[in-house]
Amino acid sequence: MLKVGLTGGIGAGKSEVSRLLVEHGAVLIDADRIAREVVAPGTPGLAAVVEAFGEEVLAPDGGLDRPRLGSIVFADPDRLAVLNSIVHPLVGARSRELEATAAPDAVVVHDVPLLTENGLAPLYDLVIVVDAAPETQLDRLVRLRGMTEEDARARMAAQARREQRLETADVVIDNDVPLDRLRERVGEVWADLVRRARTPQE
């Protein structure tokens, strides 16, 4: 099994790359999706969040009011650390469970937006960074996601710098290219991943 960490700045096109890798046969473990699952209604994770932050972080339907919680934790690093101490171990445990069900020669791709920020590179055999110029990211966030330029710049500024991400990369996929060229590049990377997955690790 080859464990791959996939990351990239917001708007770099990581979701498109993960979709293409799945088309080739990768097993995808999406950290963002798992983070939502582990605090779904009725889970111990949600109970722990409510215990730490109070009933006001619940929406009327009993689920987590993400904007409300976000407004609390992003204004206070200590509160964010408390939230992370609840959610991160649950995400890690669920990720390992999913990984354990993959075939021995599988390429398991962990889609982890904050891989660089949280120092997670050592968890993987290989790290792929999806890279795009900051002006490309900004354009995509404003044009495709409907963000204001100010909001988009703030989101980008909250993440690792481009140079920091590239330092953690074993493989870089340039996504400042047309889709057909991106497909071609992902195909090349996939062939290398399959070869590595089938080669006994030293």
The CATH architecture of the domain made up of 1-26+106-202 is 3-Layer(aba) Sandwich (3.40)
Residue 134 near residue 27, CB atoms below 8 Å = no
When the candidates are 3.40.50.300, 2.120.10.30, 3.40.50.10470, 3.40.50.720, the CATH number that belongs to 31-103 is 3.40.50.300
Residue 125 near residue 73, CB atoms below 8 Å = no
Residue 124: partners with Cβ closer than 8 Å, 6 or more residues away: 3, 4, 5, 110
| CATH 3.40.50.300 boundaries in the chain | 1-26+106-202, 31-103
Instruction: Tell me if residue 127 falls in helix, strand or coil.
Output: strand
Q: Give which of 68, 89, 92, 70 is closest to 80, Cα–Cα.
A: 70
| End-to-end CA gap in the chain | 13
Please give the model's pTM, rounded to 2 decimal places: 0.86
Residue 114 near residue 129, CB atoms below 8 Å = no
- pLDDT per position in the chain (202 positions), as tens? 999 999 999 999 999 999 999 999 999 999 999 999 999 999 999 999 999 999 999 999 999 998 889 888 877 889 988 998 999 899 999 999 999 999 999 999 999 988 998 899 999 999 999 999 999 999 999 999 898 998 888 888 888 999 999 999 999 999 999 999 999 999 999 999 999 998 876 5
The whole-angstrom separation of Cα 63 and Cα 42 is: 9
Find residue 173's DSSP bridge partners. 130
